[in-house]
Amino acid sequence: MAFPTAVNSQITDAVTQANVKVLADAPAVAMGNLYQAIAQSLSLAAQNATSAQQQANALAEAVTTRCVVLLTGEAK
């Protein structure tokens, strides 16, 4: 129970309990935010890897096409 004041003790107790709940929830909220940030970073890394692979495949296709053109003697 809170210290005696001019305010009703039930009100001060309710405010104190609300403050305690906020403080008690803080670690769980922080871990939730951390997990979300990590998940977003990992998904972005996977997306970047996929994009890099697609670009490498397009480059390999262009090189193969150029080599075939040179081998067949159709290059100008």
pLDDT in tens, 26-59: 899 999 999 999 999 999 999 999 999 999 999 9
Q: In 3D, which of 26, 46, 45 has the Cα closest to residue 34?
A: 26
For residue 69, what are the CA distances in angstroms to 13, 58, 59? 84, 17, 15
Quote the CA–CA distance of 60 and 12 in Å, as a whole number. 71
Give pTM, 2 decimals: 0.60
